Copies of this chain bind each other. A is one copy, B any other.
């Protein structure tokens, strides 16, 4: 008997039928002899509808009240899910984030979990009930106000709760079959990955694979917690994210012999970044530091940095960096303010870029990966504007309209293509 935490996203509980399907799935797990705690997102479009309602009364709703409003979405889905489970003859009790002991900081709309004290969840499980917990929400340690965790928050709730309960696995149910070697909407021959190590998953998530949020993978890795990403619409197993043996009681396909780590886990891509180039920066020591200090003080996370040493008479260079498109305006404003102090010529802004990353811990011990990678892009005449590498990853920036071709070329070059095409579902939950 294992302790299983299951997370269901909004698309899995979009309507009463979806909730009943999920309830049957939970009941089956419980009847197989496991203890089950469930984390659930708001139903389908609930969150969007609530935001629309807020906009009708206020163009800039206070963050505290927006959190109070949005958290009603999970309150609805969790209570209805508990009812549907009860209707199958099992006891189920729902708990808000606050009741489940999800303690966060006070950053409304993007709160971070500080601690999880799941005393009431443990009691419910010990008494034989299925515990249903509202995803995406918590209560702030200082002010006792209701908070939300921001994008991907329900996954984080599930992983944090599973870690606190010392669960055997955190199952993330979604509308796709698992983690793929590339996005199947771009690469129809992408393969579902049966198993991936936490380090590779971390890089995939960091590089734009949207199926698991970065901080959720980080959390699971820190607590050595296996994640099983799978579809709520199919009975098949999905992708296990773990460095440990897979518990036999939770997997019918495998679990005995650890498979050999492949060289490459997958190809991730990201269209959410933009590039800013600071043109003609005087070549003095400390100038680059001043630029990135200004950006950091605006609380902007930058990704890749490249300095082109131009050999002009002026003794100056161009510095380019990438950052989330949503933060570009803030960065430009911050840099314009120090233009005269630094003495650069101008700023160039480019949001027509794409980023491609090849990820695999196996590449550490396999020289020649970079060469094959660059050859694959070169053959397709794809220009690499920026390059960044780590021990287990190669990332390049291309023109946005060449990104899909680039992903397909690299996927094929590293032998990742499957014989059949993957099945693709639409949408993602929060």
Contact = CB atoms under 8 A, between A and B. Distances in A.
Interface of A: 16, 19-20, 23, 50, 53-54, 56-62, 64-66, 68-69, 71-73, 75-76, 78-80, 82-84, 86-87, 92-94, 96, 99, 120, 144, 146
B78 A75 contact: no
B57 A16 contact: yes
A83 B61 contact: yes
Given A54-B79, A57-B83, A57-B84, 10 more contacts: A53-B76, A57-B87, A61-B86, A65-B80, A68-B82, A69-B76, A69-B80, A71-B75, A72-B73, A99-B144
A216 to B, nearest CB: 25
Contacts of A68: 75, 78-79, 82, 94
Copies in the complex: 2
Contacts of A96: 146
A16 B82 contact: no
B72 A57 contact: no
B99 A83 contact: no
A72 B72 contact: yes
A58 B84 contact: yes
B75 A54 contact: no
Contact of A94 (B58, B65, B87): B65
Given A56-B16, A57-B19, A99-B144, A62 B83 contact: yes
Contacts of A23: 57
A72 B53 CA distance: 15
Which of A20, A56, A80 has the most C-beta atoms of chain B within 10 angstroms of its own C-beta?
A80
Contact of A87 (B58, B73, B86, B93): B58
A83 B71 contact: no
A57 B20 contact: yes
Nearest to A95: B68
A84 B64 CA distance: 13
Contacts of A80: 53-54, 57, 65, 69
A84 B86 CA distance: 38
Given A16-B56, A58-B86, A144-B99, A79 B65 contact: yes
Nearest to A88: B58
A96 B137 CA distance: 15
A23 B20 CA distance: 39
Residue from A72, A79, A92 with most neighbouring chain B CB atoms (10 Å): A79
Contacts of A16: 53, 56-57
Given A80-B54, A80-B69, A64 B87 contact: no
A64 B76 contact: no
B86 A65 contact: yes
Given A58-B83, A58-B86, A93 B64 contact: yes
A398 to B, nearest CB: 43
Contacts of A120: 144
Nearest to A54: B83
Contacts of A86: 58, 61-62, 65
8 contacts: A16-B56, A19-B57, A23-B57, A61-B87, A65-B94, A69-B75, A71-B75, A72-B75
A84 B75 CA distance: 23
A18 to B, nearest CB: 10
A54 B50 CA distance: 19
Contacts of A20: 57
A65 B83 CA distance: 7
